[in-house]
Amino acid sequence: MSTLTPNIEPPVTPEEKAPSADNRWEGAWRDILGGGLVRSVLAVVLALFIGSLLVVIVNEDVQAAAGYFFSRPSDLLSAAWDTIAGAFRAMWEGAVFSPRGGFKPLLSTLSWASPLIAAGLGLAVGFKAGLFNIGGRGQMLIAALFVGFVGSNLDMPFGLHLAVAVLGGIVGGALWASIVGVLKARTGAHEVIVTIMLNFVALYLVTWLLKTPVFQAENAGGNAKAKAIDSTAVFPTLIPGTDLDIGFVLALAAALVYWWLMERSTTGFRIRAVGLNPHAARTAGINIGRTYVVTLAASGAFIGLAGAMQVLGKVPAGWTPTVDAGIGFDAITVALLGANSAVGIIFAGLLFGALKAGSFPMQIAEGIPIDIVAVIQGLIVLFIAAPPLVRAIFRLPQPTRRGLRDRLRRPAPQTPAAQTQSASTDQSASTAQGASTDQSASTEEK
């Protein structure tokens, strides 16, 4: 992430740093307050607040009450409160727990979250290498093509069929994304432009292919609609009678794979090295071009898994070119909110999954258009992307940028002057101490 959001903080002045410098625990407290987690939570709160404000402003009851605000101001407040309370209640009952369905809505949240998590992981792989893969839509569509072909045109026993279909999606997504990698490695073409353009190419290619006999459903006429998936390849549901299928298990498995890939494998090390500093990586003997191709292929593979989840889990009766459902773009927000960490992405995916699951009951019960979710999502990401903004709004302190382990090992310098002096040496020292300390120090950056 460091290359993508160059959070170049303004230089810390001695005045700012002074009060906390004499106590090591104050520094730790400041890190917690100014750190990534608190900031993410506050960004979500702020976005929900602005979203609620929007909902209140456009509400007709509120507008009516605002008309006679000066004669009875309490009416406006109660109308506003009713609107917000109604919206959140509908959201809660649609996403977590409802008196009628018990925890069934929670399962539907998990089901919405699964492709978001998978695709979010894909985006995160790219971010780690400093690559921005906006091509999720195209990669999901091409993945859907592969999944659909395996799922409806091949005959295989239950289990194997499912596995091959999912694998097909992963391969399809990876292939389509690696076009971008090859172009970037060989010609220097910017991945953002190429992925945007390939989204549209994939859309038209898939639309055309879905009208050809190989893919088109028998009764679709002139419409682009795919054949139904064979029952041997459809995702089995985990709990009968609910939306939850094995897609969620796959998403969790993908998160595990992502963690291993990034934290334990040589490939992941190369990806991170190229992301942190391509020139240094090249000097260290890493083949940058090949790393770009591998990164994008891995990114496309995760996104392809999301495509498989959509085709085999959500619309097995026959998918259309809208099968991606905007997940390719939502995944950007998931990866950014999740700070590119496997656990973070799972939680971010769950949050956005809950917003999606809750938005439909909210639209039906309270008449609030589901588009509010996109607004909230966009706002969250804007706030996440600009740490100084959130810090300024909530008057949070600037984090000290010291790692926890580093803090425990060495007591904080005693005088403010010493603290400021050691600002530069502090960083080089923690780098010398090895990657583990440095990592915890830089988690704030993400």
- Which residue from 150, 177, 323, 373 is in contact with another protein, where contact means CB under 8 A? 373
d(CA 357, CA 378) in angstroms, rounded, equals 17
C-alpha distances in Å from residue 172, one per residue of 57, 179, 326, 327, 437:
45, 11, 18, 17, 38
CB of 209 to another protein, least distance (A): 9
| 385 makes contact with another protein (CB under 8 A) | yes
Q: 3-state class of 216 per DSSP?
A: strand
CB of 226 to another protein, least distance (A): 15
| 333 makes contact with another protein (CB under 8 A) | yes
User: Of 66 and 192, which CB lies nearer to another protein in the complex structure?
Assistant: 192
User: Of 110 and 325, which CB lies nearer to another protein in the complex structure?
Assistant: 325
CB atoms inside a 10 Å sphere around CB 156:
16
Binding flags for another protein, 85-124, as an x/- string (CB under 8 A):
----------------------------------------
DSSP 97: -
Measured distance between the N- and C-terminal CA atoms of the chain, rounded to whole angstroms: 6
- Which residue from 371, 417, 418, 435 is in contact with another protein, where contact means CB under 8 A? 371
d(CA 428, CA 437) in angstroms, rounded, equals 11
CB of 353 to another protein, least distance (A): 17
- Which residue from 208, 223, 364, 421 is in contact with another protein, where contact means CB under 8 A? 208
CA 342-347-351 angle, to 5 degrees, is 145
CB atoms inside a 10 Å sphere around CB 198:
24
Strand partners, 237: 245
User: Of 11 and 240, which CB lies nearer to another protein in the complex structure?
Assistant: 11
Residues in the interface with another protein (CB under 8 A) total 50
Cβ burial of 244 (10 Å; 0-12, 13-18, 19+) is buried
| 13 makes contact with another protein (CB under 8 A) | no
Strand partners, 226: 216
Cβ atoms of residues 293 and 182 within 8 Å: yes
CB of 272 to another protein, least distance (A): 17
| 132 makes contact with another protein (CB under 8 A) | yes
Binding footprint of another protein on the chain (CB under 8 A): 4-8, 54, 58, 60, 132, 134, 183, 186-190, 192-194, 196-198, 200-201, 204-205, 207-208, 211, 329, 332-333, 336, 367-369, 371-375, 377-379, 381-382, 385-386, 388-389
